[in-house]
């Protein structure tokens, strides 16, 4: 079953990437929205000033539930990793924030999204970025190499969230931090109710509850995890900002 879900996620986001490419060369249709929530997801959640220098295809491919540069409070010189980097919007924004002395990585399992992200980086003239192919549960980077991990509505898509949390902990330097956006359920909403309110590929059925999220981060070794709800995406499920630190 987990392999089937992984393939559903990969296929859905591959189609979204290809649709963006079609739009960029004169297609007539917007990319398919792979999430259940209309305007609660996507490029509308970003600062309009960012649109002035980012490629249109980066915004069109945005299917996240937050604005990562605002969540993570990035600083010059930091090394950042975006889990599930999609079309590259958060990597490009992060690279600009950390500046020429910093670096931004993105990892994604969908080759079509990686191709799109690399094309967007080229259009933006970004040189302090790299996009890697891989699963968020097994990132092809060394231990303690990352200062800040970001992720935008992707952890809920993982079929092995404990492994994803453990991988985040492995990658961060001591004192490194998480600043991610994700869909999180109220503790009163059961897994069955989450499945009734949205699909897995739509970022709803696979969402953790607040207490499950905190417990998962603490089990991986993170200190002082906090979850702040921002806006509702389905009854009893909200976009949330999640912060935690590696001791």
What range defines the domain where residue 165 resides?
2-245
pLDDT for res 55 = 66
Output the average pLDDT for the chain.
84
The CATH number of residue 174's host domain is: 3.40.50.150
Q: Which residue has the higher pLDDT, 55 or 40?
A: 55
Question: Residue 25: which pLDDT band, with cuts at 50, 70 and 90?
Answer: very low
pLDDT for res 79 = 98
The pLDDT of residue 21 is above 70: no
Query: Rounded to 5 degrees, what angle do the CA atoms 72, 123, 35 make?
Result: 55
pLDDT for res 4 = 85
Query: Tell me: the pLDDT tens digits for 126-181?
Result: 999 999 999 999 999 999 999 999 998 899 999 999 999 999 999 999 999 999 99
Q: Tell me the C-alpha distance between 83 and 189, whole Å.
A: 26
Cα–Cα distance list, 141 to 58, 124, 180, 213 (Å):
24, 24, 19, 24
Question: Residue 39: which pLDDT band, with cuts at 50, 70 and 90?
Answer: very low
If one counts the domains in the chain, the total is 1
The pLDDT of residue 9 is above 60: yes
Q: Do 205 and 199 meet the contact criterion of CB atoms below 8 Å apart?
A: yes
Q: Which residue has the higher pLDDT, 36 or 71?
A: 71
Q: Which residue has the higher pLDDT, 56 or 117?
A: 117
Contacts of 82 (CB under 8 A, 6+ apart): 68, 90, 91, 94, 104, 105, 106, 107, 149, 150, 151, 152
Question: Residue 11: which pLDDT band, with cuts at 50, 70 and 90?
Answer: confident
């Amino acid at each position: 079953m987990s392999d089937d879900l992984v393939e559903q996620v990969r296929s859905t986001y591959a189609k979204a990437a290809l649709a963006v490419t079609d739009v960029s060369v004169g297609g007539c249709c917007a990319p398919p929205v792979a999430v259940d929530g209309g305007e609660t997801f996507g490029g509308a959640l970003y600062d309009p000033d960012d649109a002035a220098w980012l490629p249109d295809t980066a915004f069109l491919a945005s299917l996240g539930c937050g604005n990562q540069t605002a969540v993570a409070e990035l600083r010059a010189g930091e090394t950042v990793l975006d889990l599930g980097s999609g079309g590259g919007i958060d990597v490009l924004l992060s690279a600009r924030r950390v500046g020429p002395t910093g670096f931004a990585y993105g990892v994604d399992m969908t080759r079509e999204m990686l191709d799109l992200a690399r094309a967007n980086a080229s259009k933006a003239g970004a040189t302090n970025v790299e996009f890697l192919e891989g699963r968020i549960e097994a990132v092809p980077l060394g231990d303690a190499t990352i200062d800040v991990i970001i992720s935008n509505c992707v952890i809920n898509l993982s079929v092995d969230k404990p492994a994803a949390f453990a991988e985040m902990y492995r990658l961060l330097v001591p004192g490194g931090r998480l600043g991610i956006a994700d869909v999180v359920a109220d503790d009163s909403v059961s897994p069955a109710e989450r499945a009734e309110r949205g699909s897995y590929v739509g970022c709803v059925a696979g969402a953790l509850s607040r207490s499950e999220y905190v417990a998962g981060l603490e089990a991986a070794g993170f200190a002082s995890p906090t979850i702040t709800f921002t806006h509702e995406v389905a009854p009893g499920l909200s976009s949330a900002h999640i912060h935690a630190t590696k001791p």
